[in-house]
């Protein structure tokens, strides 16, 4: 295995399925949905190249939870439930990272997500490496279309993502963008806490003022991502991500092209 990413709750690795063959799906209805999607794409000649390669060569990404305390387990279960709610309700093949199944690490007992591997990394890494050669119509608008479709699907499932930022968007071999990390997703009207989570420049000002996350706060995060695609820069790159920046954002400060 090779580590390819790390977050507050888990570490992500590149891995190869040694045994090959299909993994157990989370639910049979997800399996039926995928069978329909893949049958449709094979018949129409549009089977996604990266999905095909992953299945043939048994490449995958696995996210191992750092521990099994109550907060981590709650996030794990919420991510699983949010994924199931989205993928079984809507046609999300092109905009959501596929979850092949769940498992448990044998020595430490840590829970694992087994997921589709996206070979171009997250959006922040992708822009840093490729921004100078990206074209608006062929590349940037394609990414924005993918993200708007994915976010629309999440909202139509009556969920708020609450943690949309460049590190939670993965870019595939085909340059399609995929939303990931649904661990903070929740129903808009069932939020128990008004505390803010996430990466500061992507958090809406009203959330920093201790209002609840809403569909609109997700759209604010999407707007910051649009700014990144336009400029190729990180928002507020010359600032410390601290309480002083929070105050400035609440006063209306916006990122500027340096």
- Residue 163 is among the residues annotated as catalytic for this protein: yes
**Cα-based distances in Å from 124 to 23, 141, 171, 225, 229:** 30, 16, 10, 10, 10
Q: Which two three-digit tokens encode residue 42? A: 């094979």
Q: Which two three-digit tokens encode residue 245? A: 């920046």
Angle at 145 between CA 201 and CA 188, to 5 degrees: 55
Alpha-carbon span 231 to 218, nearest angstrom: 20
H-helix or E-strand spanning residue 151: helix 141-156
Q: Which two three-digit tokens encode residue 3? A: 């580590």
All residues at 6 or more sequence positions from 115 whose CB lies less than 8 Å from its CB, including other chains: 60, 61, 62, 63, 97, 98, 99, 100, 180
Residue 126: CB atoms within 10 Å: 21
Q: Which two three-digit tokens encode residue 49? A: 């190249």
Q: Which two three-digit tokens encode residue 147? A: 């993200």
Residue 242: CB atoms within 10 Å: 9
Active-site residue, selected from the candidate residues 69, 139, 163, 242? 163
Alpha-carbon span 164 to 181, nearest angstrom: 9
In eight-state DSSP terms, residue 84 is: H
Q: Which two three-digit tokens encode residue 58? A: 């048994």
Residue with tokens 């991500």: 241
| Catalytic residue annotation | 163
């Amino acid at each position: 295995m090779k580590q390819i990413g790390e977050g507050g709750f888990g570490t992500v690795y590149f891995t190869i399925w040694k045994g090959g063959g299909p993994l157990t799906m989370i639910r049979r209805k997800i399996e039926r949905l995928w069978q329909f999607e893949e049958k449709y794409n094979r018949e129409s000649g549009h089977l996604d190249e990266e999905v095909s390669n992953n299945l043939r060569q048994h490449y995958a990404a696995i996210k191992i939870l750092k521990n099994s305390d109550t907060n981590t387990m709650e996030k794990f279960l919420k991510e699983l439930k949010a994924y199931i709610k989205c993928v079984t309700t809507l046609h999300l093949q092109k905009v959501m990272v596929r979850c092949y199944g769940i498992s448990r690490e044998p020595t430490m007992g840590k829970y694992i997500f087994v997921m589709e591997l996206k070979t171009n990394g997250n959006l922040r890494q992708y822009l840093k490496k490729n921004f100078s050669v990206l074209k608006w119509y062929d590349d940037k608008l394609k990414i924005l279309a993918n993200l708007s479709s994915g976010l629309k699907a999440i909202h139509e499932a009556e969920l708020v993502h609450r943690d949309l930022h460049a590190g939670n968007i993965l870019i595939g071999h085909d340059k399609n963008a995929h939303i990931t990390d649904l661990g903070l997703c929740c129903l808009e009207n069932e939020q128990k806490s008004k505390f803010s989570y996430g990466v500061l420049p992507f958090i809406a000002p009203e959330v920093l003022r201790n209002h609840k996350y809403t569909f609109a706060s997700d759209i604010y995060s999407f707007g910051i991502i649009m700014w990144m695609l336009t400029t190729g820069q990180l928002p507020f790159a010359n600032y410390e991500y601290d309480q002083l920046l929070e105050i400035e954002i609440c006063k209306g400060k916006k990122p500027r092209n340096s």
